[in-house]
Structure 1
Amino acid sequence: MTRLFGAESTTDDVLDGVDLSGKRILVTGASAGLGVETARALAARGAQVVGAVRDLDKGRRASAQVRDQAANGGGLELVQLDLASLASVRACADALNADGRPFDVIIANAGVMACPQGKTADGFETQFGTNHLGHFVLVNRIAALLKPGGRLVNLSSAGHRYADVDLDDPNFDHTPYAEFVAYGRSKTANILFAVEFDRRHKERGVRATAVHPGGIRTELARHMTEEATDALIESINAGQLAAGLPPFTYKTVPQGAATSVWAAIVAAPEEIGGGYCEDCHVAEIVHGQGLRGGVQAYALDPEHAKALWAKSEEMVSERF
């Protein structure tokens, strides 16, 4: 009988009794927050985790607990990856391909949120370029390393409800910049990328999904002031109240990372493939405003996903 998990489940709850010996898993952003916890939980069950981090020194310090708790042959190695630079992304992918060892799972966890307007090294709007295009190039370049039966898990967010992608103006060249609109576009892109990647790879047994971890206090919110955070929570609670739902509460980091490892390891592949997950279950399509649960239909539209894929290839000057 399938065990049921929910919003309060932790990584240890989800992986209780699971043996990951012999599994090899890539986790981006393994130097803080959810990435460290995801790596810890996997290595503690025997997985060989490859943590991709922008700052190797920070990664070594932050991941000491991962190495300390690794068991049953599990372990952690770090590789350098700056998602805001396609040169770094391509160098990381080249190194992984040259190494040649396959992966059972890729968890595209790294990202930025609500940052001031800026550009990546390649001139892309920071959030779209980092959260989506960096992962788009990395994952596609190493896609052949994913074993049949493997999975891709993209970290998205309920923030996808702020905005659909804008394929006519992805870099805000003609649109007034707003931090959360840019964040919403990038998080919608994370879902649409999973939808199209799943379509392209499911015939060989590789499935892809996107997940919302929940609201967690991590470094991700470092660009937000206390006033901005309070205003965001007020707006969320207004939507919750209108829907007859309880007020927003923060998750712990182990609770936040639980949906990632559930989708990567525990959930049935046919259940999560091409979908969007939250609180350790596949979310339903919902309509209306506010940051309540569920997923917006535009984020799962297969034709929209194909169009984003084509636009992304155009932007990075590379076809996959």
Structure 2
Amino acid sequence: MTAAITATKAFGATSTTDEVLEGVNLAGKRVLVTGVSAGLGVETARALAAHGAEVVGAARDLGKAKGATEKAFGKTNGLTLVELDLASFASVRAAADGLVADGRRFDLVICNAGVMATPSGKTADGFETQFGTNHLGHFTFVNRIASLMRPGARLVNLSSAGHQMSDVDLDDPNFERTPYDPWAAYGRSKTANILFAVEFDRRHRERGIRAAAVHPGGIQTELSHHLDDDARRRMTEVVEELARRPGARPFSYKSIPQGAATSVWAAVVGKADEVGGRYCEDCHVAETIDAEGFTFAGVRPYALDPEHAKALWAKSEAMVGERFP
């Protein structure tokens, strides 16, 4: 995706969406953002629309999305809402089919929606909630609308440093043989978000379409509303343990505009060959760190492994019952 950028600037952890997009003109660009009913999704849609893009926002609850987007940036000129429940393949396929029937093309797709550390549960189609919602829902939706992505388009998947908690388990994706752990499940789904970007990038880069995954940072949004007391305590313990490590940088929560900045940076500002097939954080491509335990910064090698990405793609096709070119 190309955009008019007035100057090359250095961005970092405290950069905001407006700072990243300063001087960028997105007039004539059409973008799709999932999860526009709160938090990062609303801010991402607002920032892109403010710079001239036509935005299609997808959300499970259209009433909530309409209220949130109107509150964030007034009249929703340049924004169209579509219903999308990622935990239901019927909803995913209906939303994708509607966009394909409409026929208008996209320059950018940002898969922002997701859930975190939910209690044990299943999607409407019987898959573990987090893997089914965060990965399989987006996997099916994006592949069904891939034909609408113009040459030069980009896909951005919101992942998380939470991917460091666990690799995907292709032998037991639904925790049928292992005890369910909400953070392990979250980690699996966030690793899947990265691996999906890696393989999508490989499959589509000859068409000029690139894909990246991003970590927005620690942000206090509605994503954490599923957390029970034990899950919140575990999260606090991890953060405190990291802060005690020698040389650790102080942890601080980002604002929502700071959290959404890496999404728009990877989507619009970062060079295609630099971000394609990579994992980004704090408005730059992250360092690959082969370490044990949770380090917050960096990306684990297993999340970028191309053969691992191909295996996840094949497993995902089998799980959703569709093959994608």
Match status 1:16 vs 2:22: yes
Q: Deviations over 1:191-238 (max 9, x none)?
A: 000000000000010000000000100000001246643441332232
What is the distance in 1 between the residues matched to 2:73 and 2:98? 22
**CA distance in 1: counterparts of 2:173 and 2:307, whole angstroms:** 18
The Cα RMSD (Å) is 1.3
Whichever residue aligns with residue 6 of structure 1, its letter is G
Report the CA distance shift for 1:69/1:249 in structure 2 as closer, same or farther (over 3 A).
farther
Q: TM-score, normalization: structure 2? A: 0.95
Identity of aligned residues (%): 68
* Map of 1:77 onto structure 2: 80
1:163 to 2:178 alignment: no
Q: Judge conservation of contact 2:20–2:264 (CA < 8 Å) in 1.
A: yes
Structure 1 residue aligned with 2:3: none
Distance in 2 between residues matched to 1:277 and 1:286, nearest whole Å: 13
> Paired residue for 2:280?
277
Q: Identify the residue that residue 303 of structure 1 maps to in structure 2.
A: 307
Residue aligning to 1:205: 208
Partner of 1:290: 294
Q: Tell me how far 1:2 sits from its aligned partner.
A: 2.5
Q: Measure the CA separation in 2 of the matches of 1:227 and 1:90.
A: 36
Q: Which residue of 1 aligns with 2:4?
A: none
SS at match of 1:5: coil
Please say if residues 162 and 296 of structure 2, whose CA atoms lie closer than 8 Å, have aligned partners that are also in contact: no
Pairwise CA distance, 1:245: 1.4
Asked if residue 89 in structure 1 is aligned to residue 95 in structure 2, the reply is no
Measured in 2, the distance between the counterparts of 1:207 and 1:69 equals: 32
**Deviation per CA, 1:269-319, whole angstroms, max 9, x where unpaired?**
001000000000000111221232000000000000000000000000000
Secondary structure of the 1:151 match is strand
Q: 2: CA distance between counterparts of 1:286 and 1:182?
A: 21
Counterpart of 2:94 in 1: which secondary structure?
helix
AA partner of residue 28 (structure 1): T
Give yes or no for the alignment of 1:48 onto 2:54: yes
Task: For 1:209 and 1:164, locate their aligned partners in 2 and report how far apart those are by CA, in whole Å.
Answer: 18
The residue identity in structure 1 corresponding to 2:236 is I
| Aligned partner (choices 179, 187, 191) of residue 190 of structure 2 | 187
1:211-226 matches, within 5 Å, as 211-225=214-228
Contact 2:59-2:83 within 8 A present in 1 as well? yes
Q: Provide the C-alpha distance between the structure 1 equivalents of 2:75 and 2:275, rounded to a whole number of angstroms.
A: 29
Q: Distance in 1 between matches of 2:177 and 2:280?
A: 33
Q: Report matched runs for 1:192-271 at 5 Å.
A: 192-225=195-228, 228-271=231-274
Q: Does 1:315 align with 2:309?
A: no
SS in 2 for 1:50: strand
Residue of structure 2 in register with 1:124 after alignment:
127
SS in 2 for 1:93: helix
Q: Provide structure 2 residue ranges, at least 5 long, that are not aligned to the other structure.
A: 1-6
Which consecutive residues of structure 1, in runs of 5 or more, have no partner in the other structure? none
Contact 1:236 1:291 in 2 (8 A): no
2:226 alignment partner, SS class:
coil
Where 1:94 maps in the other structure, the secondary structure is helix
Post-superposition offset of 1:183: 0.2
Asked if the contact 1:43–1:76 (Cα under 8 Å) also holds between the matched residues in 2, the reply is yes
Amino acid at match of 1:140: N
Q: Secondary structure of 1:46's match? A: coil
CA distance in 2, matches of 1:69, 1:19: 20
Q: Give the total of aligned pairs.
A: 317
**How far apart, CA to CA, are the structure 2 residues paired with 1:178 and 1:226?**
14
Kept after mapping to 2: 8 A contact 1:159/1:291: no
Give the distance between the partners of 2:172 and 2:230, measured in 1 at CA.
29
> What is the TM-score with the length of structure 1 in the denominator?
0.96
SS of residue matched to 1:245? coil
